């Protein structure tokens, strides 16, 4: 068997240019497919992990079809609804930093109060003393790196709606629990956030509601909507469906790339299955004349096909891993991120879908090997002189 494998390698080398072309096309196709699957799976894992950390219900005030500030004291009325465990007003918003071309998410907290998320509780507890100091902010790692690149190492000037500047000192950097969610976050005292966004005292961006029994979320959301007709009540399930719709839309792009890759693959398969070249037939005829058995010839062809297909598969998957998780999938990631070009750059979390990689393997490698063996078997069953002619 070892000699047959060595003969297969030498046979591949004799037709080096043709086999190299097939190897490159095969590897390129698997690289594209594997990269797309890795990006989408990584983003899905990150987004749905973020979704799990969101509140059960979010209440927004809508006037003339546009979201506007809501009275923070409405949270006290909502908290008295049976089944609501707590209702917390949030003060937050996006701040565009034109020099870097990104949006920061500014989130207000009460330094010694209860926050609406566990991660914010940890940040507020850790940096409570710093937050109560005048004009101090705690930033995510992505924000900190963006500020440093623009020479704001210790402070940053925010431009308020009236054109005045507010200097805010960087009081600390926190590690995000989920990169996609927290990489762009700046945490400040709520009063400072109101000042930067020009909000009135006692106003909030929205109110988040936690429900003790998940089965009662829909009922409580309906009660809130009936009590405050000028509000838009969004449940976690609504957000999950919205996220899924985004991925379904993006999957159209994926489908186009997938069709191109599959079309290329089947051109290769068609070329292999349509018959052997005259050189390959002559080689099989000579081997038969020398006394080789059909099984030995098929073993050689199997080794040749396996070296090309399996080698191309593992090379492509290795390159895809480096491209997606090492380099951050430049260009291709933008097809799936869209709006996030306004966020600070972040690393895709390492999340592998072994089932999908196995699916790519079993829909390409065995098909290529079969397309090589079938015409070789047909030629090997003929008499030696007939094959050579």
DSSP string, 307-367: HHHHHHHHHHHHHHHIIIIIS--TTHHHHHHGGGGGSPP-PPP----HHHHHHHHHHHHHH
Q: The tokens of 304 are what?
A: 């040749």
Confirm if 208 and 57 have CB atoms less than 8 A apart: yes
Please check the confidence at residue 342 and state whether its pLDDT lies above 50. Answer: no
Query: Which residue is associated with the tokens 């699916």?
Result: 359
% of residues, the chain, pLDDT over 90: 17
Mean pLDDT of the chain: 81
The Cα 339–Cα 211 span in angstroms is 31
Phi–psi pair at 82, nearest 5 degrees: -60, 130
Please check the confidence at residue 143 and state whether its pLDDT lies above 70. Answer: yes
Please check the confidence at residue 253 and state whether its pLDDT lies above 90. Answer: no
- Across the range 321-349, mean pLDDT stands at 69
- The reported pLDDT for the residue numbered 320 is 92
Q: The tokens of 58 are what?
A: 């979010």
pLDDT tens for 220-229 read 999 999 999 9
- The reported pLDDT for the residue numbered 338 is 54
The Cα 192–Cα 135 span in angstroms is 7
Cα–Cα–Cα angle for 34, 39, 42, nearest 5°? 120
Please check the confidence at residue 321 and state whether its pLDDT lies above 80. Answer: yes
Count how many Cα atoms sit within 13 Å of the Cα of residue 332 in the half-sphere of its side chain.
21
Helix (H/G/I), strand (E/B), else coil: 28: helix
Residue 237: closest CA among 216, 218, 261, 223: 218
Please check the confidence at residue 123 and state whether its pLDDT lies above 90. Answer: no
Please check the confidence at residue 304 and state whether its pLDDT lies above 90. Answer: no
**What are residue 208's DSSP bridge partners?**
58, 88
pLDDT tens for 187-220 read 888 889 999 999 998 899 999 898 988 889 989 9
Other C-beta atoms closer than 10 Å to the C-beta of 172 total 15
The sign of the CA dihedral 124, 125, 130, 132 is: positive
Choose the most confident range, by mean pLDDT, from 168-182, 279-293, 309-323: 309-323
- The reported pLDDT for the residue numbered 233 is 92
Confirm if 106 and 120 have CB atoms less than 8 A apart: no
- The reported pLDDT for the residue numbered 134 is 72
- The reported pLDDT for the residue numbered 387 is 61
pLDDT tens for 49-103 read 777 777 889 999 998 888 899 998 999 999 999 989 889 899 999 999 888 888 8
Its pTM stands at: 0.64
Query: Which residue is associated with the tokens 């191309």?
Result: 312
% of residues, the chain, pLDDT over 70: 86
Angle between helices 236-273 and 354-380 (to 10 degrees): 10
Q: The tokens of 73 are what?
A: 């004291």
- The reported pLDDT for the residue numbered 276 is 66
- Across the range 123-133, mean pLDDT stands at 76
First-residue to last-residue Cα distance in the chain: 29
Please check the confidence at residue 116 and state whether its pLDDT lies above 50. Answer: yes
Confirm if 168 and 188 have CB atoms less than 8 A apart: yes
Please check the confidence at residue 317 and state whether its pLDDT lies above 90. Answer: yes
Confirm if 220 and 80 have CB atoms less than 8 A apart: no
Q: Which residue has the higher pLDDT, 366 or 178?
A: 366
pLDDT band of residue 252 (cuts 50, 70, 90) is: low
Please check the confidence at residue 178 and state whether its pLDDT lies above 60. Answer: no
Q: Which residue has the higher pLDDT, 241 or 27?
A: 27
């Amino acid at each position: 068997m070892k000699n047959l494998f060595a003969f297969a390698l030498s046979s591949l080398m004799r037709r080096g240019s043709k086999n190299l072309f097939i190897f490159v096309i095969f590897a390129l196709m698997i690289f594209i497919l594997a990269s797309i699957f890795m990006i989408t799976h990584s983003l899905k894992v990150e987004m749905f992990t973020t979704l799990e950390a969101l509140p059960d219900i979010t209440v927004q005030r809508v006037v003339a079809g546009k979201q506007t500030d809501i009275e923070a004291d409405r949270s006290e009325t909502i908290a008295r609804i049976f089944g609501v465990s707590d209702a917390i007003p949030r003060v937050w918003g996006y701040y565009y930093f034109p020099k870097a071309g990104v949006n920061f998410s500014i989130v207000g907290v009460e330094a010694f109060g209860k926050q609406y998320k566990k991660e914010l509780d940890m940040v507020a507890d850790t940096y409570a003393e710093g937050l109560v100091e005048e004009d101090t902010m705690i930033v995510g790692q992505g924000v900190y790196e963006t500020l440093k690149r623009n020479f704001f190492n210790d402070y940053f000037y925010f431009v308020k709606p009236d054109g005045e500047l507010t200097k805010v000192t960087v009081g600390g950097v926190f590690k995000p629990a989920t990169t996609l969610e927290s990489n762009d976050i700046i945490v400040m005292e709520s009063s400072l956030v109101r000042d930067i966004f020009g909000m009135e005292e006692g106003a909030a961006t929205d109110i988040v509601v936690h429900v003790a029994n998940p089965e009662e979320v829909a009922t409580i959301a309906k009660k809130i909507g009936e009590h405050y007709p000028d509000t838009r009540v969004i449940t976690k399930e609504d957000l999950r469906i919205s996220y899924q719709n985004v991925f379904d839309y993006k999957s159209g792009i994926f489908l186009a790339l997938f069709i191109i890759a599959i079309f290329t693959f089947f051109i290769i398969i068609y070329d292999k299955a349509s018959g052997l070249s005259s050189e390959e037939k002559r080689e099989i005829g000579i081997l038969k004349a020398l006394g080789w058995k059909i099984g030995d010839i098929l073993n050689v062809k199997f080794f040749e096909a396996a070296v090309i297909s399996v080698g191309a598969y593992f090379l492509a998957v290795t390159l895809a891993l480096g491209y997606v998780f090492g380099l951050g999938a430049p260009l291709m990631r933008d097809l799936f991120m869209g709006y996030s070009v306004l966020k600070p750059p972040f690393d895709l979390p390492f999340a592998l879908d072994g089932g999908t990689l196995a699916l790519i393997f079993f829909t390409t490698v065995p098909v290529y090997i079969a397309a090589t063996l079938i015409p070789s078997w047909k030629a090997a069953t003929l008499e030696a002189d007939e094959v050579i002619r």
